[in-house]
Amino acid sequence: MDPERPPPALTSDLLEEILLRVASPADLARASTACVSFRRLIADPAFLRRYRSIHLPLLLGFVRSYGFGPAEAPHPSAAVARAVAFSFDYLPRTTWEDHWTPVNARDGRVLLERSCREVPNYCDLLVCDPLSRRYLLLPPITDDLLASIGIQNKDIFLSGASFIRSGGTEEDTSFSVISLMQSSSRLGVFIFSSGSGCWSVSTSISWDDLGLDEVNEFIQEQCTSDCFYWKLNDMSTVVKLDMNSMQFCTIGLPPGHDKRQIVIVESGESRVAMFSTVHESTSVDYYYTFSQNGSEKSHEWHLKSTIPLPAHYTFEGNIGGPAEGYIFIECIPDEKDTTYSAFFSLEIKSFNIERVGRTRSPACGAYPYFGFPPSMSPRRI
């Protein structure tokens, strides 16, 4: 009998299709160490672009003021997260008092701010890619640009940027930063484009036109799809900006939400939904609403579900998001004399709650950091 023939060798095209179907980026990174041919194919930029367009990035941990807090076991991303370690010690500082504070993280980039000594209540802004240790210091918004919407530096009582948006494709490395300026009379929204390197006016509105009797501070900012939401301090009111129409409006929240923290999410069929919680609570409330006749003032909120937090934990920190289909909750263990707080992810569709990690700095803001293993992450800046 003829000897058994060995199976035919896999062609590069077929091997690529197989590797594209490896669901876990962590498993793909391990596969790249199996042999030279695997490594060569997986490291190819064209293959990585295809892979990242198919598979969602991993929740690797949280960005804090000191740097990165990785996901911890038994979270499925814990093994990969251990390979992602960074701090912000390479960012520019003129004195030891300079301190860059993270305000947002998205698509592998981190947006940070620090107080500006030259202009009271104004913040310097910087965008960095912490894995490549690259950064871009954003220029200040000019006096002429502020004056074009009726704001002067001396009138600003709060400024800062809360959002960063990436270009639409993997090849497009551009990004934009959205900054909100509040003065005694107006709100102004400005957009920085990495392509032009300049700020431009997005839109502005007076407090009177918003129907607000007094100036108030925004305490929570978030982005959902093409809309931005800012919750007013000590009020059951949210200011919404639709980036497609560039129109502001206000949305009333259910009674009793003046002291609550909230996260607004898209729920489909022209509806929005909201997760909310209050200090010393052991659950998260889920509301949904829809506006009739396109009027924001006709929102009627309905409590759909109350989601219990994991046993032996109490909400005492922050609630944030949405990002990649999740919101994020910081809780304190019920143990006495505890020295840490824990972070949980709550999947918006299933309400499944999973512990991600913990920190020894309770009640401080943290921003979820999604990405791929360092060998698979694109350099964005």
Beta pairing class for 198-206 and 67-70: unpaired
Residue 283 in any domain: the answer is no
Q: What residues contact residue 193 under an 8 Å CB cut-off, 6+ apart?
A: 174, 176, 200
**Of 88-102, 191-205, 270-284, 356-370, minimum mean pLDDT range:** 356-370
Question: Are 20 and 130 members of one domain?
Answer: no
- Examine the pLDDT at 117 and tell me if it is beyond 80: no
Kindly list the distances between the CA atom of residue 309 and the CA atoms of 72, 78, 351, in Å, as whole numbers in the listed order. Answer: 19, 22, 11
Residue 177 in any domain: the answer is yes
pLDDT at 267: 75
Question: Are 29 and 131 members of one domain?
Answer: no
Helix axes 12-20, 45-54, angle to 10 degrees: 30
Q: 293: pLDDT confidence band, cut at 50, 70 and 90?
A: very low
- Examine the pLDDT at 297 and tell me if it is beyond 90: no
pLDDT at 171: 60
pLDDT at 94: 73
Q: What residues contact residue 326 under an 8 Å CB cut-off, 6+ apart?
A: 59, 345, 346, 347, 348, 368
Question: Are 99 and 209 members of one domain?
Answer: yes
Question: Are 208 and 92 members of one domain?
Answer: yes
User: What does the pLDDT average to over 125-139?
Assistant: 92
Coil vs helix vs strand at 296: helix
Q: 291: pLDDT confidence band, cut at 50, 70 and 90?
A: low
Residue 304 in any domain: the answer is no
Supply the Cα-derived Rg of the chain in whole angstroms.
23
Question: Are 150 and 203 members of one domain?
Answer: yes
Q: 364: pLDDT confidence band, cut at 50, 70 and 90?
A: low
Domain that holds residue 11: 1-55
Residue 339 in any domain: the answer is no
Q: 298: pLDDT confidence band, cut at 50, 70 and 90?
A: low
Question: Are 40 and 121 members of one domain?
Answer: no
| Residue 156 DSSP symbol | E
Residue 196 in any domain: the answer is yes
Q: Report the share of the chain in percent with pLDDT over 70.
A: 87
Question: Are 122 and 45 members of one domain?
Answer: no
Boundary (domain end) residue, out of 215, 249, 267: 215
User: What does the pLDDT average to over 193-221?
Assistant: 84
Q: 282: pLDDT confidence band, cut at 50, 70 and 90?
A: very high
Question: Are 206 and 93 members of one domain?
Answer: yes
**Is the peptide bond preceding residue 7 cis, with omega within 30 degrees of 0?**
no
Residue 98 in any domain: the answer is yes
Residue 377 in any domain: the answer is no
Residue 109 in any domain: the answer is yes
pLDDT at 115: 80
pLDDT at 224: 81
- Do 324 and 59 meet the contact criterion of CB atoms below 8 Å apart? yes
pLDDT at 363: 46
Boundary (domain end) residue, out of 215, 249, 278: 215
- Examine the pLDDT at 380 and tell me if it is beyond 80: no
- Do 70 and 361 meet the contact criterion of CB atoms below 8 Å apart? no
Q: 335: pLDDT confidence band, cut at 50, 70 and 90?
A: confident
- Across all residues in the chain, what is the average pLDDT? 84
Task: Return the amino acid letter for 355.
Answer: R
Question: Are 51 and 92 members of one domain?
Answer: no
Question: Are 92 and 209 members of one domain?
Answer: yes
Q: 295: pLDDT confidence band, cut at 50, 70 and 90?
A: very low
**Of 4-8, 59-63, 72-76, 198-202, minimum mean pLDDT range:** 4-8
Boundary (domain end) residue, out of 190, 215, 240: 215
Q: Could you tell me how many residues make up the chain?
A: 381
User: What does the pLDDT average to over 197-214?
Assistant: 87
Question: Are 145 and 101 members of one domain?
Answer: yes
Question: Are 129 and 200 members of one domain?
Answer: yes
User: What does the pLDDT average to over 351-377?
Assistant: 82
- Examine the pLDDT at 292 and tell me if it is beyond 70: no
Domain count, the chain: 2
